[in-house]
Amino acid sequence: MKTKGALLRENNTPWVIEEIEIGDPKAHEVKIRMEAAGMCHSDHHLVTGGIPMAGFPILGGHEGAGVIEQVGEGVTDFEVGDHVVLSFIPSCGKCPSCKSGLANLCDFGAMLLQGEAVSDNTFRIHTAAGENVYPMTLLGTFAPYMVVHEASVVKIDKDIPFEVAALCGCGVPTGYGSSVRSGDVRPGEDVAIVGVGGVGTAALQGAVISGARNVFAIDPVPWKREQALKFGATAAFASVEEAAMKIAEVTYGHMCHKVIVTVGEVHGKDVDTWMGITAKAGTCVLTGMGNMLDSEVTLNLAMLTLLQKNLQGSIFGGANPKLDIPLLLSMYRAGKLNIEDMITRQYRLEQINEGYQDMLDGRNIRGVIRYTEEDW
């Protein structure tokens, strides 16, 4: 079918809305009419080249929710009309990672930046001129229709608003999980969240829900710090340097049991600064991303060894998409997780560049693209 999508034709250029052609669902694939797509910072890494896809043009978007419109051969878990979240992490349920309970490390993940559908290694999306289109993380939620593998799809209850559900494809489980799963925050612990955007605000809520004693929010944008205090942070600071003295005072020099790093652009030179506010035997969870080719890190090895600290990477917050997405949405429904207030503004697909500028200017916790009849 013919539809449209936000494409990136080369690095450091704006998103352009172009006509695209999406193929029918093949075996184990479903076609989805999109309702909402979240604007995560990771798609901006496609623009800068920090996350390199295998080719151009790229169809952006890896956070979204919609309605199943067609199912391919062999699909038994979904039927037409089901409401679903698109998870940027596929989970096949069959590979060693999935079977050992590490679904966020599913073997399909190796294909996330390849552009080809995992079902048969062919391209499902093409431009009007017939070029192959590379969808972000096997999805491409910046289009009103998608054809994706069932491993990337999670069924949800029909009463959940789509814009709330969309955030559970990446930002909410990644942030919440970074605190609760990868960080294993325990009651009474002191936690710092470095960078309180979309992912960081979910991490902040995860730390609060886990019973953290102090939750220090660190972000250079004053409005973000104000929001963080509303979401339960006990103090907010403009930089790690500014926070360090205060954290030392409040924790009697112990510093933070857990430090969750969710800044928009991670640089290796900053790692030692984050480890500096991490307590003895504490854990610094690195969730934010920078350039994927960056391998230079500044880290005091003696402090790492002698103070027995942990530096922990985290993809999708260590969460299990098929288990945690419905769980987080049930927590939202129970009033335990505030996803609604994380959505600062909704946009039309055509406003995507404005939306990303708002993110870069620090005006949004999360911007969401909302699709309507005009798009379908």
Active site residues: 40, 42, 45, 62, 170
- CB of 351 within 8 A of CB of 374? no
Helix (H, G, I), strand (E, B), or coil: what is residue 118?
A: coil
Give dist(CA 217, CA 82) in Å, integer: 38
Rule CB under 5 A: choose which of 106, 117, 236, 284 binds Zn ion.
Answer: 106
From the list 216-224, 241-249, 318-326, 340-348, the region that binds ligand NAD by CB under 6 A is: 216-224
Q: Please, what's the largest Cα pairwise distance for the chain?
A: 64
User: Which of 90, 200 has the CB closer to ligand NAD?
Assistant: 200
Q: Binding to Zn ion by residue 365, rule CB under 5 A? A: no
Which does residue 210 bind out of ligand NAD, Zn ion, none, counting CB within 5 to 8 angstroms by kind?
none
Nearer to ligand NAD, 133 or 240 (CB): 240
Q: What part of residues 263-302 is at the interface with ligand NAD (CB under 6 A)?
A: 263-264, 266, 287-289
The Cβ of residue 85 has, within 10 Å, a number of other Cβ atoms equal to 30
Residue 194 touches which of ligand NAD, Zn ion, none (CB < 5 to 8 A by kind)?
Answer: ligand NAD
Q: Is 262 in the site for ligand NAD (CB under 6 A)?
A: yes
Per-residue buried b or exposed e for 270-284, using 16+ beta carbons within 10 Å of the residue's own CB: bbebbbbbbbeebbb
The correct pick among 42, 87, 278, 283 for binding ligand NAD (CB under 6 A) is 42
Of 82 and 219, the one with the shorter C-beta distance to ligand NAD is: 219
Residue type (1 letter), 355: G
Does the protein bind ligand NAD through residue 314 (CB under 6 A)?
Answer: yes
Name the packing angle between helices 198-209 and 222-230 (round to 10°): 30
- Does the footprint of ligand NAD cover residue 225 (CB under 6 A)? no
Work out whether 352 is an interface residue with Zn ion (CB under 5 A): no
Q: Is 211 helix (H, G, I), strand (E, B) or coil?
A: coil
Spatial neighbors of 187 by CB under 8 A, at least 6 apart, are 210, 211, 212
Query: Would you state the structure tokens that stand for residue 287, as one six-digit string?
Result: 């969730």
Nearest CA-CA partner of 58 in 119, 12, 15: 15
**Least Å distance between CB 286 and ligand NAD?**
8
Which phi and psi (to 5°) does residue 58 adopt? -100, 135
Q: Which of 80, 220, 246, 376 binds ligand NAD (CB under 6 A)?
A: 220
**What is the dihedral sign for C-alpha 103, 231, 269, 276?**
negative
Identified binder of Zn ion from the candidate list 7, 15, 29, 42, rule CB under 5 A: 42
Exactly one of 208, 218, 271, 329 binds ligand NAD (CB under 6 A); that residue is 218
Distance CA 320, CA 326 (A): 10
Query: Which residues of the shown chain bind ligand NAD in the complex (CB under 6 A)?
Result: 40-42, 45, 170-171, 174, 194-200, 218-221, 224, 262-264, 266, 287-289, 314-316, 359, 362
